[in-house]
Structure 1
Amino acid sequence: MSLPSSYKVAVAETPGSPLALKDIPMPAVGDKQVLVKVLACGVCHTDAVVAAGYFGNSFPRVPGHEIIGDVVKIGSAVVGVKPGDRVGGSWHGGHDGTCRECSRGLVQMCQNEEAHGVTLDGGFGEYVLMRSQAIVRVPADMDPAEAAPLMCAGLTSFNGIRKMGIEAGSLVAVQGLGGLGHLAIQYANRMGYKVVALSSGSSKKEFAQELGAHHYVDTSAEDPVKALTALGGADLIVATAPHAKAISPLVNGLRSLGKLLVLAPVGNVEIDTTVLLRKGASVLSWPSGNITDAEEALEFSKTHGVKCLVEKFTLEKVNEAMGHMLTGSVRFRSVLVVD
């Protein structure tokens, strides 16, 4: 197929400025690169962090790391994908293949990792140029807009929960009912756990139960620690809402050898280490996942009917999409849909 000489992107030109729509030249495709026509790209909180300059002075930069699209051109050394294939891209944009982490298959922790939308231009545009080692194969029958957030929010919650080694039938509590939380509840339910949703407000109870929560705790009216203790204590608590004061006391709601999995990038959180010592409990996290993890997250979601609820925006309304994400007015993930 013939390609245009240029294409439209939404770019962060200076720290803190609104994203600007620009036409940029169509790049040459390197030997190990893949050119993708973007169909949809999720809007993540990290995109706003990048645009604000917290990852350094890497400007101008096209954000976006929840990418779904179709391959339109491949480099001469690329194997495994071909033009017409439905693919995706996550945070992981590339790795060196030589460091200790890469040798153990933990490429998303590579000491020299590239990241879409951070060190490499991402998916906020009509096209994106990706490294072949970062290509995720996507089922063609998945809705692109619904699949896009699974590249980050879905992958993070799915992979984080399954890496904790919690036995099926155990009690898993999910703190927060936003973009990460509404997916974590679904994954925990489909993995065979008894699920408790922790969120503020009685109006969310029915929705949490529809997602798969067996119990709902309104944290504005009830102490979540007492509620969890009454249920015997949680084997795993998944913290998805970035509120340090809400996360801090949750270790008291763990049962012996329980785990607090922190997926929200919240900064410093006070933890009572006496509780950890007494219960043999632990506080852990997990950094997203590699390409295989992403493909397994997609396949699991498709097989078990895990759905990400999205609000769609055109590329021209990218700043509106970012604003909705930052104010929390979107339910539950903002997604750019590219014609």
Structure 2
Amino acid sequence: MPSVHVQQIPETGADLEAAERDIRDPGRGEVRVRVEACGVCHSDVLSAQLAASYPIVPGHEIAGVIDAVGDGVDAWAPGQRVGVGWYGGIDGTCPACRAGDFIDCANLRTPGLAYDGGYADAVVVPVEALAAIPDALSAVDAAPLMCAGVTTFNALRRSPARAGDLVAVLGVGGLGHLGVQFAARMGYETVAIARGADKESAARELGAHHYIDSTATDVSERLQALGGATVVLSTVTNSAAMAATIGGLGPRGQLVVLGVDQASIDVAPFALVSQTRSVAGHPSGTSKDSEDTLRFAALTGIRPVVETMPMADAAKAWQRVLAGHARFRIVLENA
């Protein structure tokens, strides 16, 4: 059994530590992926709190190459470039799965929570977790698209918005900077909303047609002046900021919530009943959704804005993300 270098959480609540671990051969319906890059997501912190067992290796924005396949794996072969994201496997038997709603599986398996993730030289994953990476995308570019990318892309394409509609992206950070790119490339009149005038230049470079500084103006009033948003895609973790956009929705407009805050979204029922507005949550997407995201990004030139760090510096990268010091995305690379 080969050994691999990993960055692991040894026990609940502990910090990341470097370790060398044995890695098994893939079993039936599994593949082993040699990790080339792994994005650092704020949700990785859940590995220290909610993992199925310890020690656990975090990381659910994985890009690499298959180096071994288990029995029963016919559609994938060693040498293929693949990504693995938040969607890391399902039970196949819960009501959601039986209805074909796989992302809402009651026992969804996520790398770094259900089994070891991508802060490692290699990882063993269920075959249903795999998404093919197009040749046009590097591993570093593909990794963040496996979570931040598919979450924003899938939310937009499944929203009520149609080409030409006004779509606002709340937040221009790790998720939001991808949301702005996807919205613009999908043909929406795109509004970026963020705190401060200093983010306007970057937002417009990403493709935003309009910019709203939420510290300088009433967001809802500004959206209504632009015609009312069909969709507000919220990528922030601030419930008050989310609530401040609801009045800017047009008829049958929808606030789509991606970022998670523990506080409630404060909204008066009349604000929803009036104009038939709604608030909806959206998870990421299946491995097929991730594959669609990668192909769309390759086709349209969308790329995450990343800072790369060696895998050995995973603890430093994690602390930077948790402290809010990462402007967009950090990606860990194996040498």
Q: TM-score, normalised by structure 2?
A: 0.97
Letter in 1 for 2:88: G
Instruction: Report the counterpart of residue 170 of structure 1 in structure 2.
Output: 165
Matches for 1:35-50 after TM superposition, within 5 Å: 35-50=32-47
Q: What SS is found at the alignment partner of 1:92?
A: coil
Letter in 2 for 1:338: N
2:124 corresponds, among 111, 129, 134, to: 129
Aligned residues: 334
Is 1:108 the counterpart of 2:116 in the alignment?
no
Equivalent positions of 1:44-193 (< 5 A) are 44-51=41-48, 53=49, 55=50, 58-193=53-188
- Long gaps (5+) in structure 1: none
The alignment-based identity, stated in percent, is 39
CA contact (8 A) 2:6 2:19 kept: yes
Q: Secondary structure at the match of 1:294?
A: helix
CA contact (8 A) 1:160 1:285 kept: no
Equivalent-residue separation in structure 1 for 2:246 and 2:93 (angstroms): 38
Q: What RMSD in Å do the two structures reach over aligned CA positions?
A: 1.3
* Greater CA drift, 256-265 or 106-115: 106-115
Gaps of 5+ in 2: none
> In structure 2, what is the Cα distance between the partners aligned to 1:245 and 1:165?
23
Deviation, 1:57, is 6.1
CA contact (8 A) 1:7 1:126 kept: yes
Helix, strand or coil for the counterpart of 2:19? strand
For structure 1, which segment, 296-305 or 133-142, has the greater mean C-alpha deviation from structure 2 after superposition? 133-142
Provide the C-alpha distance between the structure 1 equivalents of 2:267 and 2:222, rounded to a whole number of angstroms: 19
In structure 2, C-alpha distance between the alignment counterparts of 1:203 and 1:31, rounded to whole Å: 52
**1:31-78 Cα distance to aligned partner (Å, 9 max, x none):** 211011000001111101322x1x256321111100000000001210
Residues 160 and 231, structure 2, Cα contact 8 Å, conserved in 1 = no
Measured in 1, the distance between the counterparts of 2:154 and 2:100 equals 14
1:230 alignment partner, one of 209, 225, 228: 225
1:170-200 deviation line (CA, Å, top 9, x unaligned): 1001110101000000111111100111111
Partner Cα separation in structure 2 for residue 14 and residue 293 of structure 1: 33
1:14 paired with 2:11, answer yes
Q: Deviations over 1:288-333 (max 9, x none)?
A: 1112111100000110111101111111111111011112211211
Q: Which ranges of 4 or more aligned residues in structure 1 deviate by more than 3 Å?
A: none
Q: TM-score, normalised by structure 1?
A: 0.95
C-alpha distance in 1 between matches for 2:51 and 2:138: 34
2:207 and 2:100 mapped to 1: Cα distance? 32
Q: 1:68 to 1:297 in 2, by over 3 A?
A: same
The answer to whether the aligner puts 1:335 opposite 2:331 as a matched pair is: yes
Q: Is the 8 A contact 1:106 1:290 kept in 2?
A: no
Partner of 1:258: 253
